[in-house]
Amino acid sequence: MRYPADQKAETHRQIVAAAAAEFRCKGLQGIGIAELMSQLGLTHGGFYAHFKNRDALVMEASVCAATESLDRLLAAATDVPAGKEVEAMLDFYLSPAHRDDVAHGCLLPALASEIARQSESVRNAFTESLQTNLAKIARYMPARDSDGRMAQAMTLISGMAGGVLIARAISDSNLSDVLLNSVRMQLLGLYSAWQA
C-alpha cells in the first residue's frame, strides 16, 4: 500500500524526532530500531522505507537534536536588552531545568562522546551541524574578526557542554546546582574579559 508523500514525510519527521529524544536520554545503543518503531506504532520493516540503515537515522537524529538545542539556546537570547544575549544563553543552558531535560537538552553533553566512536559519515554530519551552529553563536561574540568570534564561540559552548555533562553525572543535586552556577559565573567572567 502506497502512502501520500506528505504522510511519508511526516512519518519520517516523527521517527527522526523520536530518535533524537531517545538517543539523548538512552544513548545511541540504548534503544533498538524495533523498539523505536514500535513506540510510534510502526513496524520494524517500515524503518527501511525511510532510512538506508541505522547510521542514516543517527545522522539525521543528531542533526535534528543539535538544531532543536540551538533553537532553544538562541530563543533565550531574544527579547533581552542588547548586550545581554550571552548572559541569557548562559542562564538558560547552565540551569537545573536544562540539565534535567535530557530528552530536549543539548546534544553535546548527551551524545558527543558516543558520536566520536561512530562511523565517519555520522561524525561528518555532526561536524557540519556543529560548524553551522557555532557560526550562529559566534554572531554574539565580541572578537573583531570572524576567526576570533568562532574561537570564542567554541570556547563558550565547550565550557557550557562540559558543565552540563558533569552536572548530570553528580548524584547530589545541590552540588550539581553549585557546579552549574560556578561554570556560568566563570564563563560570564571570560565573556566580559573578551569584551574589554
Q: Tell me which residue of 152, 112, 149, 110 sits closest to 130, measured CA to CA.
A: 112
Spatial contact of 65 and 103, defined as CB atoms under 8 Å apart: no
Q: What pLDDT sits at residue 2?
A: 58
Q: How far apart are CA 184 and CA 178, in angstroms?
A: 10
190 within some domain = yes
Listed in sequence order, the residues at least 6 apart from 136 whose beta carbon sits closer than 8 Å to its beta carbon are: 70, 74
Domain that holds residue 85: 54-195
The number of domains in the chain is 1
- The answer to the question of residue 188 being in a domain is yes
Residue 138: the pLDDT is 97
* pTM to 2 decimal places: 0.90
Specify the CATH number for the domain of residue 85.
Answer: 1.10.357.10
Instruction: Decide if 5 is inside a domain.
Output: no
Is residue 95 included in any domain, yes or no?
A: yes
- In a domain, residue 3? The reply is no
Is residue 129 one of the residues assigned to a domain? yes
Mean pLDDT of the chain: 94
Query: Has residue 81 been placed in a domain?
Result: yes
Report the alpha-carbon angle 57-3-48, nearest 5.
30
Q: Is 108 a domain residue? A: yes
pLDDT at 3: 60
- The pLDDT > 70 percentage for the chain reads 97
Distance CA 163, CA 66 (A): 17
Residues 135 and 48: their CA atoms lie apart, in Å, by 34
